[in-house]
Amino acid sequence: MMTLALTRTLTRLRYGVLLALTLLIPTLSPGVARAELQIDITQGNVNPLPIAIANFYVPDAATGHFGNDIPAVVRADLERSGLFKPLDPTSFIQAPAAMQVQPNFQDWRVINAQALVTGDITAQPDGQLKVEFRLWDVYAQQQMTGLVYVTAPANWRRVAHLISDAIYKRITGEDGYFDTRIVYVAESGPLTHRVKRLAIMDQDGYNQRYLTNGASLVLTPRFSPNQQEITYLSYYGNRPRVYLLNIDTGQQEVVGDFSGMTFAPRFSPDGNTVVMSMAEPDGSSNIFTMDLRSRRVSRLTREPSINTSPCYSPDGKEIAFNSDRGGSQQLYVMNADGSNQHRISFGQGRYATPVWSPRGDLVAFTKILDGTFSIGVMHPDGSGERLLDHSYLEEGPTWAPNGRVIMFYRETQGDAHGRGVHDQLWSVDLTGYNLREVITPTDASDPAWSPLSPLIH
Amino acid sequence: MRLNTFGTKFMVVCAAALLLAACETTPEKAAMTSGQGASSSTTMAEPAGPQPGTEADLKLNVGDRVFFAFNKQDLSATARATLERQAAWLKKYPNVAVTVEGNCDDRGTREYNLALGSRRANAAKNYLVSLGVQSTRIKTISYGKERPVAVGDNEAAWSQNRNAITVVN
């Protein structure tokens, strides 16, 4: 644990000095004037943009594999987004070494690439890698963007994700989400005695690491805004309470040490407050906040009903939650001080797990109607409900930091003996397209998407 | 009740045998109990039932759990009758403390079900308290949909999983 924490801290420090410089080059003479290459990601079912991501040129044999490895990660990132169609590298005509000055665009037009990514990697005297890439508009014959990163070789996957983010942003106009991580609950063992562990991984499923050992039941992890901490529910000592876990140091502390069970925690956008539910002796559950600096506890709801799954708006001024105070489980919004509690969902069925989009314009939720579970979105005033996916059992939506992709977990229906039950993570575009399974080593549930790293963006 | 006619030591032996067979205690507890048994008499007889005042006794002779309708915490007539037997049993063994565990089927969302399980556990506890059992003897915990007793994604399993189970601390 100590070694892991130390490694992580060192990695963080290296990220701190990871350099990103924009590569400026003279604009090449454009051919025919044409509209700039771009993707409108607000439209569903777009035709994925054909993009050629060439292997990077690496003069040094010892680090030569990075020339294949980094572009492979970029291809996988962009392909999974559903917005890009990375072309098969075996179809490429021009070799990486030949593109050092400028690609021969004709060679890329004949394979129908609209965008082209080239790059090179050079080992520095201090052992660091300098990774350069350029994104080209093949038809306009222009560089669209170019960046250089200097980092330790161990960070090579992260550099690849940063390149993916830069390409995504340049072509879609939106921030990317590839340099992010997912914390989730890894599940194993029989359904009646499930072992659950907190786990963390890169958004593409690599760099898996377990954060707890499975001795205590753990549920619902959520990132702090600075990514360094997770708040979650643990049954440690058979007392279900809200905890904080520092990912780097492994240090844990109790937040919700109240008389009753505390659960359903989330951070405020500034990271200074945790909002959560507490179970009360009359059987009700109400919503409280704890200021992490002063440890002051405030009650936000006082109802003889269930009030849970609170989630702050990104400006910190409001909190969405679900309550059955009106007879059935519905979505509500209140001010962050508990005032102005009002219902926002009025459709058929039960509504649960409201999660505010990082952009603030939508609330994702779980809907239960006629035995089917759906993931949907609506505006914070309750208008514009749209369902993105449905199945036998799915819940727990979490947003990519750019507010364009939602991850959740699905449980498949088993037979009468409980065989065939699997919990898996899935992601879907806000448009409802591009439904993808997120591959994990074990069954998985309760995903939470990290923000973009504040150290580099 | 037939056990009351036997000696105390013998009851310990019986209980130890039953508990070990059922694997219902932690290894530490089981080892301790069997140790006591080994040092006692050599009398042999078939165990006639669980030791009174134990969880096994509660389960077999009283009924350790009550069941609920979907998304409800209301106590049915059957549930109230079970809790009335539990209250009488708790009064008979005043040194026993219990925990009521609230559980749900998995046809709800995780966090809501944690709250619903708490509601069910407290509904059972509060009825026991209304029957004269000291509140301090009864803890509650909710497992939401995390601890199903029956697997199988159908109503038969779900109805088993919507429960409040009283366990001896």
Confirm or reject contact between A220 and chain B (CB < 8 A): yes
Q: Tell me what pLDDT residue B47 has.
A: 67
Does residue A298 surpass a pLDDT of 80? yes
Confidence at residue B25, expressed as pLDDT on a 0 to 100 scale: 37
Angstroms from B125 CA to nearest CA on chain A: 9
* Cα of A335 to nearest chain B Cα, Å: 21
Claim to verify: residue B164 and residue B89 sit in the same structural domain = yes
Mutation target vs B (from A216, A286, A309, A330; most B CBs, 10 A cutoff): A309
Per-chain mean pLDDT for chain A? 90
**Closest residue by Cα to residue A79 from A67, A89, A70, A87:** A87
Q: In what order do the strands lie in the sheet with A241-246?
A: A218-223, A229-234, A241-246, A252-254
Please name the residue of chain B whose CA is at the shortest distance from the CA of residue A372.
B107
| Nearest chain A CA: its distance from B8 CA (Å) | 33
Q: Is the pLDDT of residue B26 over 90?
A: no
- Is A58's pLDDT higher than 80? yes
Lowest mean pLDDT among A110-124, A230-244, B37-51: B37-51
Question: B92 and B162 share a domain?
Answer: yes
* Residue A327 clears pLDDT 70, i.e. is over it: yes
Q: ipTM value, please give it.
A: 0.91
Q: How many residues does the structure list for chain A?
A: 457
- pLDDT (tens digit per residue) in B62-100: 999 999 999 999 999 999 999 999 999 999 999 999 999
What CATH fold (topology level) applies to the domain A181-449? Neuraminidase (2.120.10)
CB A308 within 8 A of CB A329: no
SS3 A439: coil
Residues B133 and B155 in one domain: yes
Half-sphere exposure in the Cβ direction for A51 (13 Å, CA): 33
Q: Are strands A218-223 and A273-279 parallel, antiparallel or unpaired?
A: unpaired
Percent of chain A with pLDDT over 70: 90
Indicate the residue among B17, B33, B49 that finishes a domain: B49
Q: Is the pLDDT of residue B108 over 60?
A: yes
How many whole angstroms from its chain centre is CA A221? Answer: 13
Confidence of residue B42 (pLDDT cuts 50, 70, 90): low
**Least confident stretch, A107-111, A240-244, A285-289, B22-26:** B22-26
A23 pLDDT band (50/70/90 cuts)? low
Cβ separation A352–B123 shorter than 8 A: no
Q: What span, in angstroms and rounded, lies between the C-alpha atoms of B54 and B57?
A: 5
Share of chain A above pLDDT 90, in %: 83
Residues of chain A contacting residue B146, judged by C-beta atoms under 8 Å apart: 194, 196, 217, 219
pLDDT at B37 over 50: no
Residue at A337: amino acid letter: D
* Of residues B149, B151, B156, nearest to A414 (C-beta): B151
The answer on B101 and B128 residing in a single domain is yes
Most A CBs within 10 A among B106, B114, B116, hence the mutation to make, goes to: B114
Q: A2-28+48-172 with A181-449: one CATH topology?
A: no
Of the CATH numbers 3.40.50.10070, 3.90.226.10, 3.40.50.300, 3.40.50.450, which one belongs to the domain with range A2-28+48-172? 3.40.50.10070
Provide the pLDDT confidence category of residue A210 given band limits of 50, 70 and 90: very high
| B124 plus B145 within the same structural domain | yes
Q: B-chain residues within 8 Å CB-CB of A282?
A: 122, 126
- The secondary structure of residue A57, as a DSSP letter, is B
Does B45 share its domain with B128?
Answer: no
Interval A379-432: pLDDT, tens: 999 999 999 999 999 999 999 999 999 999 999 999 989 899 999 999 999 999
Same domain (yes/no): B81, B43 = no
Contact A355, A408 (CB under 8 A): no
Band (A24; pLDDT cuts 50, 70, 90): low
Average pLDDT on B47-71 reads: 93
| Shared-domain flag, residues B83 and B158 | yes
* Domain that residue B130 falls in: 57-168
The label of the residue with tokens 């400028």 reads A102
Comparison of pLDDT for A125 and B42, the residue scoring more: A125
Residue A180 is predicted with a pLDDT of 96
For residue A263, the chain B residues in CB contact (below 8 A) are 111, 114-115
The CATH number for B88's domain is 3.30.1330.60
Q: Which residues of chain A does B116 touch, with a Cβ-Cβ cutoff of 8 Å? A: 306
Nearest to A312 by CA among A231, A393, A235, A432: A231
Q: Do A220 and B149 touch (CB under 8 A)?
A: no
pLDDT tens-digit map of A122-167: 999 999 999 999 999 999 999 999 999 999 999 999 999 999 999 9
Is residue A40 less than 8 Å (CB to CB) from chain B? no
Asked if A279 lies within 8 A of B109 by C-beta distance, the reply is no
**Model pLDDT, residue A418:** 87
Would you place residue A101 in the very low, low, confident or very high pLDDT band (cuts 50, 70, 90)? Answer: confident
CB-based contact A240 B154, cutoff 8 Å: no
Which residue reads 């040194």 in tokens?
B95
**Comparing A120-124, A146-150, B23-27, B117-121, which segment has the lowest mean pLDDT?**
B23-27
pLDDT for residue A452? 87
B42 and B120 housed in the same domain: no
Residue B156: CB atoms within 10 A of its CB come to 9
Which A residues in the span 294-313 are in contact with B, Cβ-Cβ below 8 Å? 306-309
* Orientation of helix B27-38 relative to helix B8-22, angle to 10°: 140
CA distance B156 to chain A (A): 9
Cβ pair A283:B73 closer than 8 A: yes
Q: Is A214 on the interface with B (CB under 8 A)?
A: no
Domain boundaries, chain A: 2-28+48-172, 181-449
Give yes or no for A289 touching B (CB within 8 A). Answer: no
Neighbouring CB atoms inside 10 A of A134's CB total 20
Q: How many domains does chain B have?
A: 2
Q: Are residues B94 and B142 in the same domain?
A: yes
Query: Judged by CB atoms within 8 Å, which residues 346-365 of A form the interface with B?
Result: 350, 352-353
Among A41-55, A345-359, B96-110, B142-156, the minimum mean pLDDT is found in A41-55
Q: What is the DSSP letter of A104?
A: -
Number of residues assigned to chain B: 169
Residues B15, B82 within the same domain: no
| Residue B41: predicted pLDDT | 52
Determine the 3-state secondary structure of A344 from DSSP.
Answer: coil
pLDDT number for residue A316: 98
What letters, b where the CB count within 10 A reaches 16 and e where it falls short, cover B76-105?
Answer: eeebeebbeebbebbeeeeebebbbbbbbb
Scanning B12-71 for CB atoms below 8 A from A yields none
- Answer whether residue B20 shows pLDDT above 90: no
CA distance A305 to A388: 29
